[in-house]
Amino acid sequence: MEVFGDFQCPACRGFFEGTTKQVIDDYVIPGKVYLIHRDFPLDMHPYARQAARLANAAAEFGQFEAVERALYDHQDEWSAKGNIDEIIANNFPAAQFKKFQAFETQHMNEINASIERDRSLGMQRNVNQTPTVYVTAHGKTEALPGGGVDYKLLKSYFDYLLRQ
Amino acid sequence: MATTEIPLQTSARRAAWPRILLLVGRVVLGSIFLISAYTKLHFNGSWHFGDYHFLFAMAVDSYNMLPLWAVEIVARVLPILEAVLGAFLVLGVGLRLVASITSALILVFIGAMTRALILHIQIKCGCFGNDDPLTIWTLLRDSSFLVLALAVTIGAFLLTKRRDTVSS
């Protein structure tokens, strides 16, 4: 399952809170589904790239999911002023968060390039809204209807695909 | 003799026009419904008789109008219903009833789409496959289908009434 998301997008937060968290618990952790996050920061969200950079830096320390949760859980708090570090730092030990920041600063160009690669991939696939979700199974990729999907419907679909 | 034959032919030709228009209208409308059903059942290069309803249920649910149990029923039934209505329209079977149901169905679609546009819900239309975005143009397109469906419905009732009057 690939999710093209924007950390500042309210629909992405809704999808993460209502669906992705349960997918992680029920399918990703048991090893049934492989979940890929693709960065697709929209131009209308001025702090989305900054948030994506932090999440990518945290990924280098195995903390992508923790930062993703913190970014969505506190989206209202940082999306107005862009004070991401100030808000998200409270969710991590100070030393660990400094590592994220240091990595982000040192590898700014690589991280930006990685975000851009995801965006280009989204453009190639005609992604025009977030979240946009693709499910690949048995060699075929299906685009789910844009804007997020109810967990129960996605669960039925996954269960069907896993039975095949 | 000649003076009586020409008006008869002209009158017969005139009488045939409404039937020809109705035939064209119902075949076009039926084809639209068959195409709509086809795009829901055949996508990504193959038929999806066993799993078409999963993706379509997600599209129906994105309208935020129905409870999940109803979404699942609509997702399973609607593509089949569209195929049956489309086939009956093309074949001209039970035209008055089928055209009436088709008009009512399109009216429901337009109502749902209008509501989504008013509420600024950014979703796919779900009208012709899963990749059909919902925009004002989609609404106008479906409104033109409604005009056609209503014309076919009215035509079906009028022509049948005329035939009944002639035969009695």
- Substitution target in B41, B44, B62, B138 with the highest count of A β-carbons within 10 Å is B62
Q: B59-111, pLDDT tens digit by residue?
A: 999 999 999 999 999 999 999 999 999 999 999 999 999 999 999 999 999 99
Q: What is the pLDDT of residue B123?
A: 83
Q: What is the pTM of this model?
A: 0.83
DSSP state of A144: P
Facing residue for B130 by CB, picked from A126, A143, A160: A143
* A140-143 and A132-137 strand pairing: antiparallel
Q: Does A139 touch chain B (CB under 8 A)?
A: no
Q: Is B105 on the interface with A (CB under 8 A)?
A: no
Please indicate whether, in this complex, the C-beta atoms of A129 and B122 are within 8 angstroms of each other. yes
Comparing C-alpha atoms, which of B132, B36, B76 is closest to residue A143?
Answer: B132
Q: At what angle do helices B95-118 and B136-167 cross, to 10 degrees?
A: 160
Which residues in chain B are closer than 8 Å to A129, comparing Cβ atoms? 122
Do the Cβ atoms of B54 and A156 come within 8 Å?
Answer: yes
Smallest CA–CA separation between A77 and chain B, in Å?
24
Question: Which is it for strands A2-5 and A36-39: parallel, antiparallel or unpaired?
Answer: parallel
pLDDT of residue B5: 54
pLDDT value at residue A122: 95
Nearest to A142 among B55, B121, B124 (CB): B55
Cα distance between residue B29 and residue B18, in whole Å: 16
Alpha carbon distance A104, A108 (integer Å): 5
Using DSSP, state whether A14 is helix, strand or coil.
helix
- At B2, is the pLDDT very low, low, confident or very high (cuts 50, 70, 90)? very low
Residues of chain B with C-beta less than 8 angstroms from the C-beta of A42: none
Looking at the complex, does the CB of residue B122 fall below 8 Å from at least one CB of chain A?
A: yes
The three-state secondary structure class of A136 is strand
Whether chain A has a CB inside 8 Å of the CB on B54: the answer is yes
**β-strand pairing of A2-5 with A132-137:** antiparallel
- Does the pLDDT value for residue B15 go beyond 80? no
Per-residue pLDDT 10s for chain A (164 aa) are: 999 999 999 999 999 999 999 999 999 999 999 999 999 999 999 999 999 999 999 999 999 999 999 999 999 999 998 999 998 999 999 999 999 999 999 999 999 999 999 999 999 998 988 999 999 999 889 889 877 899 999 999 999 999 98
What is the distance between the alpha carbons of residues B18 and A51, in angstroms, rounded to a whole number? 64
Among A158, A137, A152, A135, residue whose Cα is nearest residue A30: A158
Closest to A7 (Cα-Cα) out of A92, A69, A61: A69
* Residue B167 scores a pLDDT above 60: no
Q: Which residues does chain A have within 8 Å of residue B71's beta carbon, measured at their own beta carbons?
A: 153
Q: Tokens for B138?
A: 């989609």
Contact B55 A157 (CB under 8 A): yes
Return all residues near A136 (Cβ < 8 A) that are at least 6 apart.
A1, A2, A142
Contact B62 A157 (CB under 8 A): no
Are B117 and B139 in contact, with CB atoms under 8 Å apart? Answer: yes
Q: How many CA atoms lie within 13 A of B4 on its CB side?
A: 1
What is the residue-wise DSSP string for A47-62?
THHHHHHHHHHHHTTT
B51 in contact with A, Cβ within 8 Å:
yes
Closest to B139 in 3D by CA, of B168, B117, B164: B117
Instruction: Report ipTM (2 d.p.).
Output: 0.81
Q: Which of residues 88-127 of A touch B (CB under 8 A)?
A: 126
pLDDT band at B17; cut points 50, 70, 90: confident
Report phi then psi at A95, rounded to 5.
Answer: -65, -40
Residue with tokens 């979700």: A133
Q: B51 and A156: CB-CB below 8 Å?
A: no
Question: Is A147's Cβ below 8 Å from some Cβ in B?
Answer: yes
In this structure, the dihedral spanned by the alpha carbons of residues A141, A144, A150 and A156, taken in order and rounded to 10 degrees, is -40
B30/A54 Cα distance (integer angstroms):
54
